Amino acid sequence: MTDTPNNDSAKARFCGKKGRSGPRKGNRNNMRHGLRAGKLPVDCQHVEIQCNMLRRQLEDAVIAARGEVNLVDAANIQTALKWERHGALALRWLRVSGDKLKPVEQLTFSREIARASTERDKALAALKLDRDAKDSVLDALYARVPKVLTNHDGAADAGDR
How far apart are alpha carbons 47 and 39 in whole angstroms? 10
Mean pLDDT score, 96-121: 92
**Over 90: is that where the pLDDT of 136 sits?**
no
Separation in Å, CA 79 to CA 62, 73, 104, 108:
15, 10, 28, 22
Parent domain of 57: 37-146
122 falls within a domain: yes
Write down the number of H helices and E strands in the chain.
Answer: 5, 0
Amino acid 123: pLDDT: 94
78 falls within a domain: yes
**Over 80: is that where the pLDDT of 26 sits?**
no
158 falls within a domain: no
Amino acid 80: pLDDT: 95
161 falls within a domain: no
Torsion of CA 90, 96, 100, 103, to 10 degrees: 40
Q: Chain-wide mean pLDDT for the chain?
A: 77
- 7 versus 56: which is more confidently predicted? 56
Amino acid 148: pLDDT: 58
135 falls within a domain: yes
How far apart are alpha carbons 44 and 50 in whole angstroms? 10
73 falls within a domain: yes
52 falls within a domain: yes
85 falls within a domain: yes
Q: Total structural domains in the chain?
A: 1
Amino acid 25: pLDDT: 67
